Structure 1
Amino acid sequence: MGRTETGHGTTTEEDGSAHWQRNLLVCVFGSFTTIVAMTLLLPFLPLYVEQLGVAGSAAIATWSGAAFGATFLSAALVAPLWGQLADRYGRKLMLIRASLGMAVAMSLTGMAQDVYQLVGLRLLAGFLGGYASGSFVLVATQSPKARSAWALGMLSSGIMAGNLAGPLLGGVLPQHIGIRATFLAAGAVIFIAFLATTLLIHEEKRPRGTTVARERGGFAAVPDKGPLLAMLATGMLLMFANMSVEPIITLYVAELVADQAQVTMVAGLAMSAAALGSILSAARLGKLADRIGHWNVIVGCLLVSALLLVPQAFVSASWQLVALRFLMGLSLGGLLPCVASVIRHNVPDRVAGTMLGYSTSSQYAGQVAGPLLGGFVGGHLGMGAVFLGTAVLMAAGAAFNWMVKPRG
């Protein structure tokens, strides 16, 4: 077990950093603000694209999709790199880089002069960003192992709250201050997160001998790769399940609602219900996982979500869909903190950032694959097949995790 000498005495890997609670609060705030900034433009992105000179509904939709997806594409590609650099030069340094980079990129996005600049700046935001994934690395490695899942659950709640608040703020702010000023305001708030990160986060120095240990890095440094590979697959499956219904949910709601004027509102409620459920359950399920075991919670969450997906294919009223999406959000809330905790417990500390970076990339892969496959299946086999197919995948994920989890 590693020990770290600090100005406050000796801390161990089991005890975590003496400053872990303050670090957690700053990371929750910073992750919330950066995720809000990444999702803020959802309601008004087509309007901004049109302002930048794109004409025609098909072209506007195409460029809007490219601009939104660009950030997640570049973020997925560089997440392992930032994780590796965090292991080498420090996790706090990567958070400072990400918050400052995002503040600059968001402010510049409000100054774009054409759609090519918009897409380029969205790519830049994904490349320079990564605050939320970097926070997972810092919190996972600086928190006491016995409370790591709870701490990561709190962080997950902040991230999901950002996903929920971003589109809501994006629907309100442009009406009052304008689209370009909305981006500038988002950049200013992220700059506050940059200042808080720089001044308030304290990262404990790592044990001596880390430089020598770096000779065996990456996957080669992980003695048992089974748990790590299982968590990479589980993270991708979680995001796949969350995103697979996104392309079809509005169409599905249209079949359930008599008043077509209410379709978008009900669809928004259904999407928000899942996020709200996850916000409420993440920390509680993380605390439960610290007590009964992370693998048990992962298997249980996957199995319950699979069971809840089945009735979603057969609902006859919109309120039933909203309620089931909320319950599914409750069941999925514990997965991300548990995935990060299992990785933290099963890889050497010197490569934790790299492995959690790969985990982030696998989750982004699920975010990309989910809507693509969901839209294809919904269009060719019917919308109910999307829910049933996702349920089968979640059940298979539960069975797989049950089989590979360590015994004893």
Structure 2
Amino acid sequence: MLSTKRKEDARSDIPSAKGQMPLWKRNLIVCWVGMFATGIGMSQIAPILPLYITELGVTGDGMINQLSGIAFGVTFVVAAIFSPIWGSAADKYGRKPMLLRASLGMAVVVALMGFAPNVTVLILLRVLLGTISGYITACNTLIATQVDKGNAGFALGTLATSNVAGSLLGPIIGGFIGDTFGLPPVFFITGSFMFIAFLLTLFFVKENFVPPEKKNEKMKEVWKVIPEKRLTAVLCVTFFVIMLGLYSIEPIITIYIKDMTVDLTHLALISGLAFSASGVGNVISASWLGRISDRRGAHKVLLVSLITAGLFFIPQAFVHTPWELMGWRFLLGITLGGLTPAVITLVRKITPEAHVGRIFGFTMSAQYLGIFGGAVFGGQVSAAFGIPTVLLITGALMFIAAVWVYLFVFRRFHNKKEGLIADAV
């Protein structure tokens, strides 16, 4: 463990001069811009992925749905394996090196996808992407370890808006480029955005990192010093279920829109707008919900957001036009601003400072596994029963997650005044 002096030296949220902006705020601005560029780049791919798979020679809606789900999700299951490894490395060597590694590696691999000769190579490149990815996770870890706990919800909520704002513009840009110049250029431009994130990190992110005295702690040893083991595991399961539900529909929205419109001329652009609709709502709500979580409790925001998300998923199964779908996805996006930041904030509150990176790594593994499971689940169920069935099941899953959170998370944090939970230091 760090000595008291070393802990004070490691605190990078304290300004070095009176009146100077705290380091966490400066890094929040830089990470926001970097994650915004990353969000634009990565989200350009999602709506055109089924179209790109078709261009690579795959035929039949069922097969396209299944391969889209696999190609989209395989990145995340591999990332789930490597996330704890990179999280451990971040605790040992600092968060900035992880940001540089992830952004540069992703820039190269994503650009190579534009040269894929067939769907097999595309999927293999997405496997490699999962191996080296983690820029967004590293940003969250950096800010979470620098910000004071009274501003954690606001900081993480604001940071979440960056990726969402980028994701808002990305599908529209990707759809426009795909319609105008073809699909491979989308990957080249995405790689360029990732390289911009690398340059921003290299020159502007600052970190006063103090290496721990023990560099080779095994996970068993780390787990022993986690004060709330059961609650940490419960939050990881919660994150998994949330992502499973949210990403069951993401890879197949393009196919859903294709089934409800006769105008296929601008399919990629319309699909991009549908993707972006939830992003608009998320950007509007994330910082606001973060402030509420700081004042009222992230556990309350998480519970209410899950319930309202379930309510907004179900009507999407009965829409008849892309514009109706966009409206409901906008309302859904407002609720999504209270999910991921709330889980991350709760995990941070119960995790000791020296092990935030590693525990965040396992939390992100749960997220990635949920994304993979949701993508594959959505592809398989839609191929067998249709996309509306996926939306109905997803709505039900949000309600189940709300019950789970109430029983195992909400009541625990609500009873904090009785001393059942103590913030980690």
TM-score tier, shorter chain, comes to: 0.7 to 0.9
Q: 1:308 to 1:118 in 2, by over 3 A?
A: closer
Query: Is the partner of 1:4 in helix, strand or coil?
Result: helix
Partner in structure 2 of residue 26 of structure 1: 30
- Are residues 1:233 and 2:237 paired? yes
Matching of residue 354 in structure 1 with residue 322 in structure 2: no
Alignment-derived partner of residue 138 in structure 1? 142
State the Cα distance separating 1:364 from its structure 2 match: 1.9
User: Whole-Å Cα distance in 2 between the matches of residues 248 and 7 of structure 1?
Assistant: 44
TM-score, normalisation: structure 1: 0.83
Please state how far the C-alpha of 1:307 moved relative to its aligned partner.
2.9
SS of 2:263's equivalent in the other structure is helix
- 1:261 is matched with 263
Q: Is the 8 A contact 1:72 1:364 kept in 2?
A: yes
1:99 maps to: 103
Match of 2:331 among 313, 323, 327: 327
| Distance change in 2, residues 1:214/1:349 (3 Å) | farther
Cα contact 2:155–2:290 (8 A) shared by 1: yes
The answer to whether the Cα contact below 8 Å between 1:30 and 1:193 also exists between their aligned partners in 2 is: yes
**How far is the alpha carbon of 1:171 from its aligned partner?**
2.2
Question: How far is the alpha carbon of 1:381 from its aligned partner?
Answer: 6.0
**2-side partners of 1:113 and 1:314: how far apart?**
38
Cα deviation for residue 100 of structure 1 reads 1.6
Q: Residues 135-193 of structure 1, C-alpha deviation per residue, up to 9 Å, x if partnerless?
A: 11111111121111111111111112233332222222356666555434433332232
User: Are the equivalent residues in 1 in contact too, given 2:15–2:22 (CA < 8 A)?
Assistant: yes
| 1:155 has 2:159 as partner | yes
1:94 Cα deviation after fit: 0.6
Q: Unmatched 5+ residue regions in structure 2?
A: 418-425
CA change 1:217–1:330 in 2 (3 A) is farther
Gaps of at least 5 residues in structure 1 are: none
Contact map agreement 1:37 1:106 (CA 8 A) in 2: no
Shift of the 20–114 alpha-carbon distance from structure 1 to 2, 3 Å rule, reads: same
| Distance apart, 1:309 and its partner CA | 3.4
Shift, 1:320, TM fit? 4.7
1:5 aligns with 2:9: yes
Amino acid at match of 2:232: L
CA distance in 1, matches of 2:401, 2:225: 26
Relative to structure 2, which stretch is displaced further, 277-286 or 154-163?
A: 154-163
State the 1:116 CA deviation: 4.8
Structure 1 contact 5–11 (Cα < 8 Å) conserved: no
Q: In 2 relative to 1, CA 31–251 (structure 1 residues): closer, same or farther, beyond 3 Å?
A: closer
1:86 to 84, 90, 108: 90
Return the match for 1:282 from 286, 293, 313.
286
Structure 2 SS opposite 1:139: helix
Matched, 1:299 2:303: yes
**Whole-Å Cα distance in 1 between the matches of residues 87 and 116 of structure 2?**
30
Q: Report the aligned-residue RMSD.
A: 3.6
**Corresponding pairs, count:** 400
Q: Which letter does structure 1 place at the counterpart of 2:168?
A: L
Q: Equivalents in 1 of 2:10, 2:34: separation in Å? A: 25
User: Which one-letter code corresponds to 2:198 in the other structure?
Assistant: F
- Structure 1 letter corresponding to 2:24: W
Aligned to 2:59: 57
CA deviation after TM superposition for structure 1 residue 131, in Å: 0.3
Residue 402 (structure 2) aligns with: 398
The amino acid across from 2:263 in the alignment is A
Q: What is the one-letter code of the residue matched to 2:303?
A: V
Q: Distance between the aligned counterparts of 1:268 and 1:7, measured in 2?
A: 41
Secondary structure class of the residue paired with 2:45: coil
Contact 1:243 1:367 (C-alpha < 8 Å) held by counterparts:
yes
TM-score by length of 2: 0.80
- 2:420 counterpart residue number: none
Measured in 2, the distance between the counterparts of 1:321 and 1:173 equals 23
Question: Counterpart amino acid of 1:24?
Answer: L
Percent identity at matched positions?
36
